[in-house]
Amino acid sequence: MIYKQLGKTEWNSSAVGLGTWNIGNQWGELTDRESDAILRTAIESGMNLIDTAESYGIPNGCSELRIGRVLHEFDREKLFIVSKIGNWGKRTGPGVPKTTPDMIRLCGHAIAGRMKTTYIDTILCHEGDIEDPSVYIEGFKQLVWEGMLRTYGISTNNLEVLKRFQELSGGNCAVVELEYSLLDRSADEGLIDYCRQEDMGILVRGPLNKGILSGKYDLDTVFTDSVRKKWNQGGAQRAFYEDRLQALGRMQEVAGQKNLTETALRFILSHPAGMVLIPGATRPEQVLQNAAAGAATLPPELYERLKAC
């Protein structure tokens, strides 16, 4: 596994961490035993960064609760836990109102409680298009003062939102989580450069584009999970899915491979920004595959050919 400094945090993070949206039943139901195996495999394979969110899972918080079941088995100080505030309860009602810093503090304390830890390494604002993040920033600052939070940031692909967050935080935005993959490189249009300029650690969500880059799916696939059902025939995002499959075909031709999982992860690791990937998994075998991809970057020639696609 490659390890790299995550921006101004100075953390020595594994190049590939674990995203835990997948272990919360939204991508298909898992038992506690199955999720435990995924988490243990990730940490034992060298992944030392775990990404989650207060809203991940059915019910809300399921992913964090499952992390809390396993976290005590390992040296907490050697792990970096990232969570997010912004969507608690929204699938079942109006959600927790983010009207005061105390509401952010409330959510932060709940996150730590669900994961049975006395502190969180990073909490991110989970509203990627927010116009005024002041309430989040003030709440995060108070959590830092309490000793419950080490650093904070935002999950967004909007450059103007990120600039505003950085300005209002007094330059203290430490981590940015953004969407980036072989099939979606829009973050290269200024966002990643700004993160590098401000020495922000970059976490990459969706590095496999919700599994499309694995090459397992085609036009006849019927998705049953709650996340991708909209890609099915007649679904709200069917056109998006068909466009991505066409782009996938071009990538497969260039790489000479059908399954682009390893190539797609190493493509991002080859980026000069030094980003950390957080792919999810629903089986320990997937975790091991992702961890193995974190051992190397792509040959320069293949990286440039894929960039040109």
Q: Are 48 and 13 in contact (CB under 8 A)?
A: yes
Written as one letter, the residue type at 130 is I
pLDDT tens series, the chain, 309 aa: 999 999 999 899 999 999 999 999 988 899 999 999 999 999 999 999 999 999 999 999 999 999 999 999 999 999 999 999 999 999 889 999 999 999 999 999 999 999 999 999 999 999 999 999 999 999 999 999 999 999 999 999 999 999 999 999 999 999 999 999 999 999 999 999 999 999 999 999 999 999 899 999 999 999 998 889 999 999 999 999 999 999 999 999 999 999 999 999 999 999 999 999 999 999 999 999 999 999 999 999 999 999 998
- Residues 3-209+261-299, CATH architecture: Alpha-Beta Barrel (3.20)
Q: Are 181 and 152 in contact (CB under 8 A)?
A: no
Tokens of 119: 């502190």
Q: What is the pLDDT of residue 227?
A: 85
Q: What pTM value is reported for the model?
A: 0.94
Q: Are 202 and 275 in contact (CB under 8 A)?
A: yes
For residue 21, give Cα distances in angstroms to 12, 163, 220, 238, 296.
Answer: 23, 27, 25, 22, 25
